[in-house]
Chain A
Amino acid sequence: MLMINSPAELEACRKDILSKRDPKKPCITLCSGSACHATGSEKVARAIELEVKNHGLDVEVDIRRTGCHGFCEKGPIVVIYPEGICYLKVQPEDVCEIISHTFKEKKIVERLLYCDPNTGEKATFEHDIPFYKNQERLVLGLNRKIDPKSFEDYMAVGGYQALSKALFEMTPEEVIGEVKGANLRGRGGAGFPSGLKWEMARNAPGDVKYVIVNCDEGDPGAYMDRSLMEGNPFAVLEGLMIGAYAIGAREGYVYVRQEYPLAVSNLAEAMKQATRHGLLGKNILGSGFDFTVKVHCGAGAFICGEETSLLMSLEGKAGEPNPRPPFPATKGLWGKPTNINNVETWANIPLVINKGAAAFSALGTEVSKGTKIFSLVGKVNNTGLVEVPMGIPLRDIIYKIGGGVPGGKKFKAVQTGGPSGGCIPEALLDIKVDFEELTKAGAMMGSGGMIVMDEDTCMVDISRYFLEFLSDESCGKCTPCREGIRRMLRILTDMTTGKGKEGDLELLEELAETTKGASLCALGKGSPNPVLSTMHYFREEYEAHIVHKRCPSLSCKELINYVIDPEKCKACGSCFRQCPAEAIHGGKKMIHEVIQEKCTKCGTCLEACPARFGAVKKISGEPVPAPLSEAQRTMA
């Protein structure tokens, strides 16, 4: 069946697909998201295909390349169904053993199982791994069940049921009512209620209206939108079509970062297949509703994630924001009413329609409903994408799911909300994560980046880092953003290089106030947040940099020195040989010394020194010990 012309045909098609599938049939799934791709999942996939064939299992076993599973730290990930045996960090050379053990001898390959870094306990099945166990993967969960390029796979998991329901059982107003009732809030940043936004666009006068998917995911450290677009483009498209029907749009755009090539190609394939089956184009499912989509690639500008900039970019101009009002809902693309939502928001729509507002909003807090996907990254054991109900304590995300900070280091802060967000300290880890609570803590939800920082992360440097990022990404149109960021960055750079002055903190506060108060768009208005939140919670770190020229985290290069402890050095020569700057004074049976004038502070010596000696250390804010004499350096 090629064209699907009615809801009945849609269900018949689904029945046909399911009838050919045996849920008990073994299936090897392999994560083929970008991160697993980067760690060699394609080679593993080919090895699996070959091995399965060699064992003559190609009829008995299915192989499926799926979207991102989320546990990116441990990729490439192989899961074998129906049992759900989960193998991590699989390399092509492991495949032979996996196939012969699991399928021929019905044994588990122990060494590829998940091993808890804290307890050493192993987990055989996906659902036993703490990282997955504590999540609620309503949106992201489908990624691992389907091949993102397969229309049949999407149908098999209930695809297009929501669209069919919306088109045939609901009026546009009812669809909007459902989204409003679900209290779904935008997952891309400010958390504006999606239903209200849709209603504004629906009520705006005009025959031509547009709907847009914002996949210009620019927040550094956030990648859930990419994962959804790569792993389940059909769901995003289905959400978009439901929105188009509700608002009265016949045309849509998907704005994707060109840094996400796999998302672009998977989306293009999904669009091709949807069109072939009549689920894009004219008279969809025989409902009389027409809808087409165009893909537009971003060209490398963070600001284009801002709605009005995105529209400028879609019109073929530089991505400079325009003042609001007028809002895109009344005057958007080409001056027509336009509704823009981000990828995760669109992907939630089929869920809202299928489950209904009441069921959807059963999860979450008073003001934030449903689940949210966070990208848990940085100094945390289980790095990856996590989907949790709104209102879960921040501590649970970092410790129960994330497994805490690696290497026995101390947790310092978690940064949420991207470059307009803030850093949350240890003392506030018990807050319940939703839009309001994060804002109250001086951070924000943003698109859901969560970067964990440990004792080695300098908070002054982090705030400098974000200002540098924003200075690179500001469009430069308005004075407070362009000049304010330039000045704040200069002050912070001075601080991290030992040139901080008394009065700098007050000046930062003043600049922050102007930038926040007078900037044209959210990028400018939010730009002082990383500075203000770190100054609020970690003021003593700022003071140490300014007053004592000391970096308490031993991170700011200009404020630290590498030294070798004469008591601990065993003259093994490791640092001497590896130093790229020839800045180590070595010699046989001679205590080694760092020649400070030559040292580039690259840290190679610290890594080279065997852990059992631990002779190289960093110091800050204290004088470098005087060089030893030749006699003192000679070892007995």
Chain B
Amino acid sequence: MSEIVLQIDGKKVVAAAGMTILEAAQTVGIAIPTLCHHEKLAPYGACRICTVEAESRGRMNMVAACTYPAEQDLVVTTRSEKVDKIRKVLLEQMLSHAPDSVQLTELAKVYGADKDRFSKESSFCILCGLCVRYCAEVKKKNAIGYIDRGPRREISFVPEVAGKECWDCKECFDLCPTSALQAAYVLTEALAATPTPDDDGCGSGGCGSGGCGCKH
């Protein structure tokens, strides 16, 4: 396998083909914060907390370290005024959902993020998708998925599958950066719904979240 030489925070790093910036940085002990990244899962690039500056052929781009491939002669800066500012605002946005998350609070200290900067949101979830992807990619159960899009995006258990699979597993709870609050909450609700014979069409006892447009 061919070797790639790049520079991260002034250090020369030799990476193997196929490595991401994040992985390359890890080999030399440079830590880049992550939230949606998990070594057992395919890179996803959703939380963007790992945003770094990457300069290639004279052009500087902001890229997600967890998905961007290590390229020959790439010059990466993992901390800069611009990077820190982005991470601060991202953390503040996420803290409006999960103000008590230990992981977020720790990061907030590093980047000077104010957890009260934005008004509180009703959902605890920061949509890192770890639960959804772990259930699909590792457990292959697909008991939990996304619904809707944009700011209305949520996670939602599939009642029939969750009813069978989840009580004995619950492995996703430990992955949740917001202390599993939302996962537990949604699960409880999904399981509490009892199927009724003639329903209004949105499924057994409703989608449990209102997201599908039924009146639950």
Which residue numbers of A lie inside 8 Å of B, CB to CB?
A: 301, 303, 318, 322-323, 325-326, 470-480, 482-487, 510-511, 513-514, 517-520
Q: Report Cα–Cα, A511/B89, bound state, in Å.
A: 7
Q: Which B residues are CB-close (under 8 A) to A472?
A: 150
Q: Which A residues are CB-close (under 8 A) to B96?
A: 483
Residue of A nearest to B97 (CB): A483
Q: Give chain B nearest CB distance to A285 CB in angstroms.
A: 42
Q: Indicate the member of B62, B151, B152 with the most A CB atoms within 10 Å.
A: B151
Q: Which B residues are CB-close (under 8 A) to A478?
A: 45-48
B64 interface residue (CB < 8 Å to A): yes
Interface residue tally of chain B, by bracket? 20 to 34
Partner of B153, one of A470, A482, A519: A482
Decide: A471 and B150 in contact? CB cutoff 8 A. Answer: yes
Q: Which B residues are CB-close (under 8 A) to A322?
A: 45
Decide: B89 and A482 in contact? CB cutoff 8 A. Answer: no
B93 interface residue (CB < 8 Å to A): yes
Contacts known (A318-B146, A476-B153, A482-B151); A520 close to B46, Cβ less than 8 A: yes
Contacts known (A323-B45, A479-B46); A518 close to B90, Cβ less than 8 A: yes
Decide: B118 and A479 in contact? CB cutoff 8 A. Answer: no
Decide: A483 and B94 in contact? CB cutoff 8 A. Answer: yes
Q: Which B residues are CB-close (under 8 A) to A471?
A: 150-151
Decide: A476 and B93 in contact? CB cutoff 8 A. Answer: no
Q: Report Cα–Cα, A520/B49, bound state, in Å.
A: 12
Residue of B nearest to A474 (CB): B150
Residue of A nearest to B66 (CB): A323
Could you give 8 example pairs across A and B, Cβ below 8 Å?
Answer: A325-B68, A325-B69, A474-B150, A478-B46, A479-B127, A483-B93, A486-B151, A514-B89
Q: Which A residues are CB-close (under 8 A) to B47?
A: 478-479
Q: Report Cα–Cα, A384/B166, bound state, in Å.
A: 56
B51 interface residue (CB < 8 Å to A): yes
Q: Report Cα–Cα, A39/B215, bound state, in Å.
A: 38
Residue of B nearest to A319 (CB): B149
Decide: A479 and B45 in contact? CB cutoff 8 A. Answer: no
| Closest 8 A/B residue pairs (Cβ) | A476-B153, A483-B93, A474-B150, A323-B67, A514-B89, A486-B151, A518-B48, A517-B62
Q: Report Cα–Cα, A472/B149, bound state, in Å.
A: 8
Q: Which B residues are CB-close (under 8 A) to A514?
A: 85-86, 89-90
Q: Which B residues are CB-close (under 8 A) to A482?
A: 127, 150-151, 153
Q: Report Cα–Cα, A119/B150, bound state, in Å.
A: 49
Decide: B150 and A473 in contact? CB cutoff 8 A. Answer: yes
B143 interface residue (CB < 8 Å to A): no
Excluding A480-B89, A480-B90, A511-B89, 7 further A-B contacts by CB distance (< 8 Å) are A318-B149, A475-B153, A476-B151, A485-B150, A514-B89, A518-B51, A520-B48
Q: Report Cα–Cα, A24/B35, bound state, in Å.
A: 72
Residue of A nearest to B62 (CB): A517
Q: Which of B149-163 contact A (CB under 8 A)?
A: 149-153
Decide: B45 and A517 in contact? CB cutoff 8 A. Answer: no
Q: Which A residues are CB-close (under 8 A) to B43?
A: 323
Q: Report Cα–Cα, A212/B73, bound state, in Å.
A: 33
* A interface footprint on B46-87 (CB within 8 Å = 1, 0 otherwise): 111101000000000010100111000000000000100110
Q: Which B residues are CB-close (under 8 A) to A519?
A: 48
Which residue numbers of B lie inside 8 Å of A, CB to CB?
A: 43, 45-49, 51, 62, 64, 67-69, 82, 85-86, 89-90, 93-94, 96, 118, 126-127, 129, 146, 148-153
Residue of B nearest to A489 (CB): B151
Q: Give chain B nearest CB distance to A28 CB in angstroms.
A: 47
The count of A-to-B residue pairs whose CB atoms sit within 8 angstroms is 95
Q: Report Cα–Cα, A484/B151, bound state, in Å.
A: 9
Q: Which B residues are CB-close (under 8 A) to A303?
A: 149
Q: Give chain B nearest CB distance to A240 CB in angstroms.
A: 30
Q: Give chain B nearest CB distance to A335 CB in angstroms.
A: 13
Residue of B nearest to A517 (CB): B62
Q: Which B residues are CB-close (under 8 A) to A325?
A: 68-69
Q: Report Cα–Cα, A322/B149, bound state, in Å.
A: 15
Contacts known (A518-B51, A520-B46); A484 close to B93, Cβ less than 8 A: yes
Contacts known (A472-B150, A479-B93, A479-B126); A517 close to B86, Cβ less than 8 A: yes
Residue of B nearest to A483 (CB): B93
Decide: A476 and B86 in contact? CB cutoff 8 A. Answer: no
Contacts known (A487-B93, A510-B89, A514-B89); A479 close to B48, Cβ less than 8 A: yes
Partner of B64, one of A326, A483, A510, A520: A520
Q: Which A residues are CB-close (under 8 A) to B126?
A: 479
Q: Report Cα–Cα, A486/B45, bound state, in Å.
A: 19
Decide: B64 and A475 in contact? CB cutoff 8 A. Answer: no
Residue of A nearest to B51 (CB): A518
Q: Which B residues are CB-close (under 8 A) to A475?
A: 149-150, 153
Q: Report Cα–Cα, A303/B150, bound state, in Å.
A: 10
Q: Report Cα–Cα, A486/B119, bound state, in Å.
A: 12
Q: Report Cα–Cα, A511/B153, bound state, in Å.
A: 20
Decide: B48 and A485 in contact? CB cutoff 8 A. Answer: no
Q: Report Cα–Cα, A131/B126, bound state, in Å.
A: 52
Q: Which A residues are CB-close (under 8 A) to B48?
A: 478-480, 518-520
Q: Which A residues are CB-close (under 8 A) to B82?
A: 517
Q: Which A residues are CB-close (under 8 A) to B127?
A: 476-477, 479, 482
Q: Which A residues are CB-close (under 8 A) to B151?
A: 471, 474, 476, 482-483, 485-486
Q: Report Cα–Cα, A437/B37, bound state, in Å.
A: 40
Residue of B nearest to A323 (CB): B67
Q: Which A residues are CB-close (under 8 A) to B86?
A: 480, 513-514, 517-518
Q: Report Cα–Cα, A483/B48, bound state, in Å.
A: 12
Decide: A323 and B85 in contact? CB cutoff 8 A. Answer: no
Q: Give chain A nearest CB distance to B107 CB in angstroms.
A: 13
Q: Report Cα–Cα, A511/B62, bound state, in Å.
A: 15
Decide: A479 and B94 in contact? CB cutoff 8 A. Answer: yes
Q: Report Cα–Cα, A487/B96, bound state, in Å.
A: 11
Decide: B68 and A323 in contact? CB cutoff 8 A. Answer: yes
Residue of B nearest to A516 (CB): B62
Q: Which A residues are CB-close (under 8 A) to B68?
A: 323, 325
Q: Give chain A nearest CB distance to B115 CB in angstroms.
A: 14
Q: Report Cα–Cα, A482/B48, bound state, in Å.
A: 12
Q: Give chain A nearest CB distance to B43 CB in angstroms.
A: 8
Q: Report Cα–Cα, A322/B68, bound state, in Å.
A: 11
Contacts known (A484-B93, A513-B85); A476 close to B149, Cβ less than 8 A: yes
Decide: A517 and B90 in contact? CB cutoff 8 A. Answer: no
Q: Give chain B nearest CB distance to A524 CB in angstroms.
A: 9
